[in-house]
Amino acid sequence: MRVTIIGAAGMIGRKLAERIAATGAIGGTPVDAMTLVDVIEPDVAADFKGTREVFAADLTQSGTSERVIANRPDIIVHLAAIVSGEAEADFDKGYRVNLDGTRALLEAIQSIEGYCPRVIYASSLAVFGAPLPDVIPDTHQLTPLTSYGAQKAMGELLLNDYSRRGFLDGVGIRFPTICIRPGKRNKAASSFFSGILREPLNGVEAILPVEDDVRHWFASPRAAVGYIEHAATMDTAQLGAQRCMTMPGVSATVGEQIEALRAVAGDGAVALIRRAPDPAVAQIIAGWPRAFDTARALAAGFVAEKSFQEIIAIYLEDEMGQPALKGA
């Protein structure tokens, strides 16, 4: 099987590539060729035993999509995107990358007669916007309130239609906010959700820009990779015409995150969180959903964590090489 990961220099793409290199497979199916693409050349999975191609490319540039699928990959994982805060700050760039780049890829696939790869599209909870029910089903109308959410919703519609027409076999994954993200914060409005845990666990001050009662939907990086692995080999007949699903996760408030941190790492870690309200971030987050009914994804075989302490324990194990500190 041939796998192409677009956005392979990002956190999820890197972890997915490393997972494939370590196991030689995706979702239990052997992988003999892997292509890794991003706007900067990905530097991952050098130990992959099969054929490995790595290059820098921009899907918005003419000819790039054709190059990306030149070896006719069986599975294409499309993770490349401008994140929420940046897409809101730079309107033109957001649409160019998140919408135009996605359509260019799908058009390149469609142009090859007889070619029908599995395409896994990274979508977002931002496709939903207020007013919202307390618990949101997959059938809820897409009403995004940010440019990023609108771009992802358009991508979902394209994935559905190109799948309906038989040009590709799509699976759309609405990722929860991935937490705890390793490394440094990015330009996503949701970045602080990881920061208020990651920084204290590393003995560094963290900035909290919203109130403790803000509730959101979370999963670990390990779960994110698991979603993609499952999507790569699942039977898509059960999805019908609606190819996009919200993934299972953990609903938690900021206050509950902090208490999970306290249970795992103690009061000293919590004391490193400094509250500094940011109205711009708060306004973006206020329009986001808080909890989901993910019965459809669960029935299709997707899984995630059951508690926030479990999410913290995974960060400690995967990123810091240690077990949870106090009973996660």
| Class of residue 165 by CB neighbours under 10 A (exposed 0-12, middle 13-18, buried 19+) | exposed
Continuous H helices in the chain: 11-23, 64-68, 84-89, 91-94, 101-110, 147-164, 191-201, 221-233, 254-265, 267-270, 279-286, 295-299, 308-320
**By three-state DSSP, how is residue 46 classified?**
coil
Cβ contacts of 262 within 8 Å, gap of 6 or more:
269, 270
Annotated catalytic residue, options 148, 162, 227, 315: 148
Size of the chain in residues? 328
Angstrom distance (rounded) from CA 26 to CA 40: 24
Task: Based on the residue annotation, tell me whether 121 is a catalytic residue of this protein.
Answer: no
**By three-state DSSP, how is residue 217 classified?**
strand
Kindly list the catalytic residues.
Answer: 148
